[in-house]
Structure 1
Amino acid sequence: MAQPDFLLIGAMKCGTSTLATQLGLQDGVFMTTPKEPNFFSDDDIYARGTDWYAALYAEAAPGDLKGEASTHYTKLPTYPDTVARMTALLAAPRLVYMIRNPMTRAVSHYIHEWSEGRMSSDPVQAFESSEEITSYGCYGMQIAPFVEAYGAAHIHLTSLEQIKADPDAEFTRIAAFLGLPDTAAWVHDLPAQNISAERMRRLPLQGLLIDHPLAAALRRRLVPKSLRAWIRAKRTMTTRPEIPKDLQNRIETRFVEDRDRLAAIFPDHPALDLCYPFAPQ
């Protein structure tokens, strides 16, 4: 049965879409469509069976390194069965875990949920009521089950900060870990993936009333441009939300405690300094 050689396992809002696209552009690398199968995490997708998952790799050429990128794999406590399902099928895959400043990640997570209409316009209420915003950025906690299952040697920890600082050098390290040819290189003229300059909140029946080509044509014909612009502005988050200092301090304290767990697994890793500027020195 066709299986992946490697998986990008998250974290959410940390640049995995860009990394997956960069890897897919390399000779000898095959990435799945969809990019995020979420096979091992989501119950309804896992129920489709291993033949469905194997079929995602059916078009890979002989000798290709096969991979996928699913951020759901490091979303505890939402998807608790991921590692057990993965180890039952995959003996020794190479895993890439991409992180970033967890506080910045949390704000991006909130903006994403707000734009999808799943969280209110009150970021304080969202942070207080949604455990996932914080827990998905507890990287030590998230990666620990994979370390226990496969060993730290099978995991490459990287960060958005490292790739931004020196994409060529960090991509070379990732390529070497995955076993790509020496010719593998970062593509510099590729736009960042899964990023938008403006965050627009989705509406009920968005697909039918907003995104459908016929609805769009009627809207352009019947609704004045000035009114369309006003409605668009009302649905757009133009500035990143401000998190009150006391709430930020509480969240950062939790992240610093989790950083110690991450440091125990990956001691002296550059991400420990780059991603945690708020940690005591």
Structure 2
Amino acid sequence: MLPDFIVIGAMKSGTTSLARYLGAHPDVFYTRPREPRFFSDFHDTGLASYEALFADALPHQVKGEGSTNYSIAGLRPRVPERIAAVCPDVRLVYLVRDPVERIRSLYQHRLERKPDRRSIDRAVFEVPLYLESARYGAQLDAYLEHFDREQILVISNERLRDERAALLAEVFAFLGVDPDYVPDNLDRTHNTGSDQRRMPAPLTMVRGTLARTPLLERVPVSAKRALRDRTMRRQQPGETVVSDELRARIHDTLRPDLQRFRQIVGPSFDVWGLA
């Protein structure tokens, strides 16, 4: 049993919220864990382990997963090829966001998990992940080598925020389920801000490992809740600020890619006034 759709990213663009909205549709099955990362990090575990993630789907449901590191082609170059080899007819949903705001959010997200003495001005140009995951045109080109354009739906975080119901109707229609269904969690935004309760990084790694085995399912819900409440800490709101100079440098660096992105998505897509 294999997925009918995959949300391929991008990091810090609202994929958690999108997954929750999609999973609330009665005709959609979304995997747990939400980001199995099979085609990027765990493809050597064997296809049976991946298919098992969809075993609980009902016969009428379309099945999907989402892993944000499926759209960092410069760092995970074989992901589109691997997906195409296993699921050639899969539908792909690519959720993007204003690149500067997405980079700022990713920097804050990483900073909360591991201290970094570098300012965002340095980190953006020293850590390849920041700019690579913002090269939306390059990511789409990597997928277009293996999939037809009609198999890829590109949507924006800004529309998910401001036109949520209308955008979800488009996504549902693309997936082939009732587009008029309104999820009961539509008024909620999930996993945003830096003042969330977060589990310390070592425990996050352990939890991620257990989530890919049957062991976590055997732990009583009460025990999971108690452990979460004892170990998770509340972060203070982030104060990362992107200066006008850094914003201009990011725009200049990404401009050729954003122009290519514009060619792919067409003139009606809002490219944040950058192309």
Alpha-carbon distance between aligned partners in 2 of 1:96 and 1:194, rounded to the nearest angstrom: 19
Letter aligned with residue 3 of structure 1: L
Q: What SS is found at the alignment partner of 1:264?
A: helix
Which residue is equivalent to 2:51? 54
Larger radius of gyration: 1
Task: Please say if 1:141 is aligned against 2:138.
Answer: yes
Percent identity between the aligned chains?
Answer: 29
Q: What SS is found at the alignment partner of 1:4?
A: coil
Asked if the contact 2:32/2:53 (under 8 Å) is kept, the reply is: yes
Alpha-carbon distance between aligned partners in 2 of 1:163 and 1:215, rounded to the nearest angstrom: 29
Letter aligned with residue 72 of structure 2: K
Deviations, residues 181-211 of structure 1 (Å, cap 9, x unaligned): 244224455521222452689768677xxx9
Letter aligned with residue 108 of structure 1: S
Which residue is equivalent to 2:217? none
TM superposition score normalised by structure 1: 0.82
Gaps of 5+ in 1: 220-231
Deviation at 1:256, TM superposition (A): 2.5
Cα 1:107–1:62 shift into 2, 3 Å? same
Deviation at 1:134, TM superposition (A): 1.4
Between 197-206 and 152-161, report the one with greater CA deviation.
Answer: 197-206
Cα 1:214–1:24 shift into 2, 3 Å? closer
Which residue is equivalent to 1:126? 123
Which residue is equivalent to 1:31? 30
- Picking from 166, 169, 173, the partner of 1:169 is 166
Q: What SS is found at the alignment partner of 1:9?
A: strand
Which residue is equivalent to 1:153? 150
Cα 1:237–1:55 shift into 2, 3 Å? same
Which residue is equivalent to 1:224? none
Q: What SS is found at the alignment partner of 1:150?
A: coil
Letter aligned with residue 6 of structure 2: L
Deviations, residues 160-179 of structure 1 (Å, cap 9, x unaligned): 11122211111111111110
Q: What SS is found at the alignment partner of 1:170?
A: helix
Alpha-carbon distance between aligned partners in 1 of 2:183 and 2:10, rounded to the nearest angstrom: 20
Letter aligned with residue 47 of structure 1: D
Aligned 1:179-198 pairs, distance under 5 A: 179-187=176-184, 189-198=186-195
Task: Please say if 1:81 is aligned against 2:49.
Answer: no
TM superposition score normalised by structure 2: 0.83
Letter aligned with residue 108 of structure 2: I
Deviation at 1:118, TM superposition (A): 5.4
Asked if the contact 2:27/2:62 (under 8 Å) is kept, the reply is: yes
Which residue is equivalent to 2:255? 256
Alpha-carbon distance between aligned partners in 2 of 1:3 and 1:204, rounded to the nearest angstrom: 31
Alpha-carbon distance between aligned partners in 2 of 1:140 and 1:88, rounded to the nearest angstrom: 22
Cα 1:200–1:129 shift into 2, 3 Å? farther
Q: What SS is found at the alignment partner of 2:146?
A: helix
Asked if the contact 1:114/1:120 (under 8 Å) is kept, the reply is: no
Deviations, residues 198-250 of structure 1 (Å, cap 9, x unaligned): 2689768677xxx9968987x9xxxxxxxxxxxx8xx9553431234333211
Gaps of 5+ in 2: 205-223
Cα 1:253–1:145 shift into 2, 3 Å? same
Between 183-192 and 49-58, report the one with greater CA deviation.
Answer: 183-192
Between 186-195 and 84-93, report the one with greater CA deviation.
Answer: 186-195
